[in-house]
Amino acid sequence: MSNELADLLFPNVDKTPEDYLKMYPPRECPAYRLAPSPTGYLHLGNFYSAFIQFTEATKNGGIFYIRLEDTDQKREKADAGEIAYKGLVSFGVTPHEGYRGDSLSEIGDYGPYVQSKRIFIYQTFAKDLVRRGNAFPCFCEATQSKQEVLEKRETEGIQEKDPCRDLTVEQIKQKLPAEFAIRLRSKGDGTKSRIVVDLFKGEREVKENCKDIILLKRNGIPPYALGHMVDDILMRTSKVIRGEDWYSSLPAHIELFEAAGFKPIQYGHNPLICTIDTTTGNKRKLSKRLDAYADMRYYAEVGYPVEAVHEYLLTLANSDFELWRIANPDKPLRDFPFSLDKVGSNNPIFDLQKLDSISKNIIAKKTCAQINKEVADFFKGKNIDLEKVYKILAIDRETEKPRKDIAKYSDILTEYDFLFNVPEKRGDDSLLEYMGEKIKDAPGNIKKAVRLALTGQDKGPDLYAIMQILGEAEVVKRLSK
């Protein structure tokens, strides 16, 4: 124990972790969370993690909350937290508790849910770690670049023991009031292994942690390691589900829990959604820079229905979903027996064509009232003749074999462009002489020529219905040119 050093480093911290544990009592139901950093848009991978946790919480009478981890001030971008929250809500994942964007007050009894408002709490836990002898002050300045650190690891091995870990209390007194960081006093030596159990990977043997990781930066703000541990303890998170890219940090995080006197939380590292690189042909992670559909705003901007995105993600999350859907084509998604146990550990490949196929089926099954509302919402504020759109979308709708022309609502502008613009692809310009016949009874070659002249397409919805939507004057005008 090092009470003297703890009081020396944190003279203004007068609470203990036990004080905060009393303030945040155990929950009566399981709790899951998404903890985005406001450093950019809501990534599809983050939404995927949120979606599976929200689905699990909903199935088991639990709660899903959002916590904003805004301690990386250098990379923070304006409105990123608001974008993340709205991105979740717009695609049907509305947190039951927590941060709700910058324009709404947070809800719940375990806040504040923004890390920058919890700094004193983190310092309390850091002080306790020093008191336990499991953390120490580091006065070294960060003079090495990331590349230099990586090269050092290659040449000197994986041990990363900080030179300040052996300073005496007297030596520390002499260095104060200089700024300092707080580091974990790791007990690992880089040679031993330990067994960990991951929700998705199962039981694995991993190298124990041997790094004196930073717990508080020189400005008193915690990086992810201490911040998430403290918050998940106090907010009574049941399981931490995060991307597979965090898996290598697991030994350090487990050691930190143990150093603070807590049983490590159960972690699950969901597989990262990947894509096939069109240049190399190799599998890679979805890229913010290269893949427009990595940004959840893309799905709203092009008009994918919420149900289509959910259904597609379920095909990635639970391998038995597709067989269930074949056996239950008309059942709502809430009836599917989703389980975290079925998530698996393989990295799924994102398939936009498969999403389109799923979405076409979902849009085709919507009633006229449902699709009219969603189309009106999508085109709100845009100069478009919605009455024409409603009419063409009504063709063959609510029948045994509904049309499957569009995968997303922006497709309306391309698939049914002829409603708004005279097509360039015209065919025979002498079609008006045939219009004495009834179009329903006209020979096939004439119908095809008329369709081509009116729509620029050689197939599509019922031609007679299209002519009614366009109106006699427009039909005559297009056929006369």
Regarding whether 375 and 433 lie in a shared domain, the answer is yes
| In a shared domain, residues 390 and 345 | no
- 170 & 313 share domain: no
Q: Span 302-310, mean pLDDT?
A: 97
Q: How far apart are CA 417 and CA 411, in angstroms?
A: 9
* pLDDT tens column, 358-370: 999 999 999 999 9
**pLDDT tens digit sequence for 69-101:** 998 877 778 888 999 999 999 999 999 999 999
In a domain, 280, yes or no: yes
Query: Across-strand partners of 137?
Result: 182
The DSSP letter of residue 78 is: T
> Is 450 a residue whose pLDDT tops 90?
no
Residue 199 CB contacts under 8 Å (≥ 6 apart), including other chains: 239, 241, 266, 267, 268, 269, 340, 343
Phi-psi region of 392 (alpha: psi -120 to 50; beta: other; left: phi over 0): alpha
* 111 assigned to some structural domain: no
For residue 188, the 8-state DSSP code is -
Task: Let me know whether 233 and 332 are in one domain.
Answer: no
Looking at the fold, whether 165 and 256 belong to one and the same domain comes out as: yes
Whether residue 282 is found in the same domain as residue 318: yes
Last residue of a domain, one of 270, 303, 329: 270
- Of 270, 290, 323, which marks where a domain is finished? 270
C-alpha Rg value of the chain to the nearest Å? 29
Quick check: is 82 in a domain?
no
The string of pLDDT tens digits covering residues 138-196 is: 998 865 555 554 454 444 444 567 889 999 999 999 999 999 999 999 999 888 999 99
Total domains present in the chain: 3
Confidence of residue 456 (pLDDT cuts 50, 70, 90): confident
| CATH number (domain holding residue 185) | 3.40.50.620
Domain-terminating residue out of 241, 270, 299: 270
Has residue 142 been placed in a domain? yes
State the burial class of residue 192 (Cβ atoms within 10 Å of its Cβ: 0-12, 13-18, 19+): exposed
Which structural domain, as residue segments, surrounds residue 200?
3-20+117-270
The owner of tokens 């709790």 is 31
Question: What is the spatial distance between Cα 250 and Cα 91, in angstroms, rounded to a whole number?
Answer: 30
Q: What is the DSSP string of 211-275?
A: B--EEE-TTS---HHHHHHHHHHHTT-SEEEEEGGGGGGHHHHHHHHHHTT-PPPEEEEEPPPEE
Same domain, 133 and 204: yes
Q: What CATH number is given to the structural domain containing 281? A: 1.10.1160.10
Do 199 and 259 share a domain, yes or no? yes
Distance of CA 165 to the CA centre of its chain: 39
pLDDT band (50, 70, 90) for residue 437: low
The two tokens of residue 367 are 């009633």
Average pLDDT score, the chain: 90
Alpha helices, H only, 265-385: 297-302, 306-317, 321-327, 352-364, 368-378
| Pair 12, 151 in one domain | yes
Residue 44 lies in a domain: no
Let me know if residue 325 belongs to a domain.
yes
Residue 400, phi then psi, degrees to nearest 5: -65, -30
- Is 332 among the domain residues? yes
What does the angle CA 152 – CA 153 – CA 159 come to, to the nearest 5 degrees? 120
Does some domain include residue 136?
A: yes
Question: How many percent of the chain have pLDDT more than 90?
Answer: 74
pLDDT of 470 over the 70 cut? yes
For 205-254, write each residue's pLDDT tens digit.
999 999 999 999 999 999 999 999 999 999 999 999 999 999 999 999 99
Tens digits of residue pLDDT in 379-409: 999 999 999 999 999 999 999 999 999 999 9
Label residue 136 exposed, middle or buried (CB < 10 Å: 0-12, 13-18, 19+).
buried
Residue recorded with tokens 């004495």: 436
Same-domain check for residues 261 and 303: no
Q: Are residues 428 and 296 in the same domain?
A: no
**Average pLDDT, stretch 442-448?**
70
The CA distance from 361 to 351, in Å, is 16
Mean of pLDDT values over 120-133: 98
Note the pLDDT of residue 431. Answer: 52
The residue to which tokens 């290659």 are assigned: 154
Same domain, 174 and 245: yes
